[in-house]
């Protein structure tokens, strides 16, 4: 059995250790893989200067009047997890912030075959991250491999009067760009914040679901703001593997609820 979580952790506000503790209490021996969005790092690794002609994203998150935020490297070290983190953009101008933000994969088993996939540029630079986890089946002793991908799509694009329509097409182009990359892989789990304002009716969701035929949707609850389903998980699995996933009942401090999946091997 493998536990996989997709979760926008809100620039470190999500209490990842608390969620991990609950998962380990539920399945002590199962590998745990977290596909995270809005992870951040800070410090000298983030370039302190940028060219005057460069553009950068506005800062998200604040250290004022909120619980302490934890950068992604500290979260991985705390749990003894393998980490693959790729920044998509700075988190604010250099004079006010020494942070960047992006997608990450945390895993209790070793990660390998790392990839960073730059999505078609729409409003902001977006980089999906992919890696492989492996193990040995207790059923027949065979080696198994599973590709896992974390993605975060643009929420708005273009002038305000066309935000909704333009953003939906932008997300569709980004999903199609990613699908071209992962089409050749056999077993893949894709999770992320797709920013689907129209939820399951959005074309980006429908095309992803078509490419991942082992996706079984049983929990349609919103993951953001009380009425929006922005976050999704998709599955394409080996014959004999089964999966199911549900939304967690707690957001663990983030503004998004995590999606928690269980994959059963033969």
Tens of pLDDT along the chain (266 residues)? 899 999 999 988 899 999 999 999 999 999 999 999 999 998 888 877 777 777 777 777 665 545 678 899 999 999 899 999 999 888 777 777 788 899 999 999 999 999 999 999 888 899 999 999 998 876 677 788 999 999 999 987 765 545 666 888 999 999 999 999 986 667 999 999 999 999 999 999 999 999 999 999 999 999 998 899 999 999 999 888 999 999 999 999 999 999 999 999 87
> In this structure, are residues 17 and 79 in contact, taking their beta carbons and an 8 Å threshold?
yes
Helix H or strand E segment including 130: strand 127-136
Instruction: Show the domain range for 29.
Output: 2-264
DSSP string, 22-69: HHHHH-TTS-EEEEEEEEEEESTTS-S---TT---PPPP--SSSSPPP
Name the packing angle between helices 16-26 and 72-79 (round to 10°). Answer: 30
Q: Which residues contact 82 (CB under 8 A, 6 or more apart)?
A: 76, 105, 106, 107, 108, 109, 110, 111
pLDDT number for residue 57: 74
**Cβ proximity of 156 and 163 under 8 Å:** yes
Q: How many domains does the chain have?
A: 1
Instruction: Read off the CATH number of the domain in which 208 is found.
Output: 3.60.10.10
């Amino acid at each position: 059995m493998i536990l996989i979580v997709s979760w926008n952790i809100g620039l470190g506000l999500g209490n990842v250790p608390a969620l991990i503790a609950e998962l380990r209490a539920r399945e002590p021996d199962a590998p745990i893989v977290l596909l995270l969005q809005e992870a951040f790092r800070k410090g000298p690794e983030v370039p302190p200067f940028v060219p005057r002609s460069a553009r950068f994203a506005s800062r998200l998150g604040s250290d004022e009047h909120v619980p302490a935020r934890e950068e992604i490297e500290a979260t991985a070290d705390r749990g003894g997890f393998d980490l693959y983190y790729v920044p998509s953009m700075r988190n604010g101008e250099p004079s006010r912030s020494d942070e960047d933000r992006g997608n990450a994969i945390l895993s209790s088993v070793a990660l390998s075959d790392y990839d960073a996939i730059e999505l078609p540029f729409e409003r902001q630079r977006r980089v999906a991250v992919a890696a492989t986890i492996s193990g040995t089946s207790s059923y027949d002793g065979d080696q198994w491999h599973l590709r896992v991908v974390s993605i975060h799509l643009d929420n708005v694009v273009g002038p305000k009067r066309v935000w909704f329509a333009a953003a939906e097409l932008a997300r569709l182009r980004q999903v199609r760009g990613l699908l071209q990359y992962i089409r050749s892989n056999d077993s893949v789990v894709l999770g992320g914040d797709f920013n689907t304002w129209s939820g399951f009716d959005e074309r980006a969701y429908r095309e992803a679901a078509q490419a991942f035929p082992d996706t079984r949707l049983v929990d349609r609850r919103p993951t953001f703001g009380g009425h929006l389903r922005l976050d999704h998980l998709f599955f394409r699995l080996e014959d004999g593997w089964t999966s199911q996933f549900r939304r967690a009942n707690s957001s663990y401090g983030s503004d998004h609820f995590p999606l928690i999946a269980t994959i059963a091997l033969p």
